[in-house]
Amino acid sequence: MNYKEPAPINPHEDDPFESMMSRFDIAAEILELEPGIYEYLKTPQLQVTTSIPIQLDDGTIEVFEGYRVIHSSVRGPSKGGIRFHPKVNISEVKALAAWMTWKCAVVNIPFGGAKGGVKCDPRNLTRIELEKITRRYTGNLLDIFGPERDIPAPDVNTDEQIMGWIMDTYSMHIRHTETAVVTGKPTYLGGSAGRREATGRGVRIVGEAALEKAGIDPKNASVVIQGFGNVGAVAAEEFVDIGCKIIAISDVTGGYYNPKGIDIQKALEHQRTHGGLLKDFDGGERISNDELLEMECEILAPCALEDQITRHNAGRIKAKIIVEGANGPTTAKADPILEANGVIVVPDILANAGGVTVSYFEWVQDRMGYFWPKEVVNERLARILTESFNSVARRAERHGVNMRIGAYVLAIERVANTLKLRGIYG
């Protein structure tokens, strides 16, 4: 489990929830949402803060704070990852839960949105301590989790093993094995083929669609990837497979630039032999994070954490297309600057939806007890994401807005229509 450093804090930008709401408000105005529907859709359905006391390996007791926010279950059980990070807070989790609602609706899968987190520093915890935190967190949320209620998944600093612990803890309490309570599990425990690579593969699928829309041949496209973790590294391999040239990559140790193209397999091998990091990688010139983001290229794929492109650096972005592999890498105040400069932004709620799409496939496979080969998973993923990209592009063109607002309009309309058809109980 590779630790990811927190993103730089931008005190001059909106907090994550307000940033999400500013896009929501624009889409709501376009859709002319009734005030009551507006209030319903913007308000999280459930917010939980829970105390997680555990005994550390040295015998001392420490109490951690955990969160779970269910934003919506209008279209189906809520779905969303769990992150372990020292900077986790309820505002961030609320924003991410809402993003999950819109993300699931954009790709038209029958889930609502949720998110969870535990405020802890995984670098300072042993594997045994992480297991204790995971199991206590799960135990505290037994009444919330469930394959028909709320389905967690991996996120920042959580992995397949942590999902396995959640599944086991839940199963022990209900007295039978329930694989469908989480996704992103090891395949031995009911995980889906292709799940680990799904988000990165999805970044490439929509990136390729954006290149086609812009009339750019992938063989003439240079790509810059911020964040060489699971999402960024897989996306890099996928872009190379369609003929693109990766000219810059980065992780927490810094950025690396090679105008002739970085050897991605060499970078992956370096990572494998250097504790999962790119530190001292000799396949490119060292560059800063700012230099990487502001590099001239066809595609910039920010695959790290939130708030990387802000109103302070948006005017210096030279990429023709931004494909948001991370959640919320662009702040709301950066959007109009990028749009004015003609930068096409494939928004996070579409660009990184590959993960939740294959999580949906995993949930379906777990519930029927029959598993698909990877080729089938990948074909169905490509079909859903390509159709979703085209639907978002058409909606953006119809309303004369950028793709981000087009995605929000499409997602909010789907959730609002479902809500109107269901009605309000009470």
* Paired tokens of 319: 């990429």
Parallel, antiparallel or unpaired: strands 285-287 and 299-302? unpaired
What are the residue ranges of helices labelled H in 76-216?
90-106, 127-140, 160-174, 198-214
For 28-66, letters b (16+ CB in 10 Å) and e give bebbebeeebbebbbebbeebebebebeeeeeeeeebeb
Q: How far apart are CA 318 and CA 308, in angstroms?
A: 15
**Element counts in the chain: helices (H) and strands (E):** 14, 12
- Specify the 3-state DSSP secondary structure of 147: coil
* Paired tokens of 248: 């810059």
Select from 267, 291, 292 the least CA-distant residue to 280: 267
Yes or no: say if 320 and 299 are a contact pair by the CB < 8 Å rule.
yes
Q: How far apart are CA 269 and CA 108, in angstroms?
A: 37
Beta bridge partners of 223: 246, 299
Q: How far apart are CA 81 and CA 104, in angstroms?
A: 13
User: Is 213 known to be catalytic?
Assistant: no
Give me the residue label for tokens 């593969």.
201
The dihedral over CA atoms of 149, 155, 160, 162, expressed in degrees to the nearest 10, equals: -70
* Paired tokens of 415: 């959730």
How many CA atoms lie within 13 Å of 211's alpha carbon, on the beta-carbon side? 23
For the beta sheet containing 285-287, the strands, ordered from the edge strand earlier in sequence to the opposite edge, are 285-287, 254-257, 245-251, 222-226, 299-302, 321-323, 344-346
Q: Which of 79, 115, 185, 245 is catalytic?
A: 115
Q: Which residues are catalytic?
A: 115
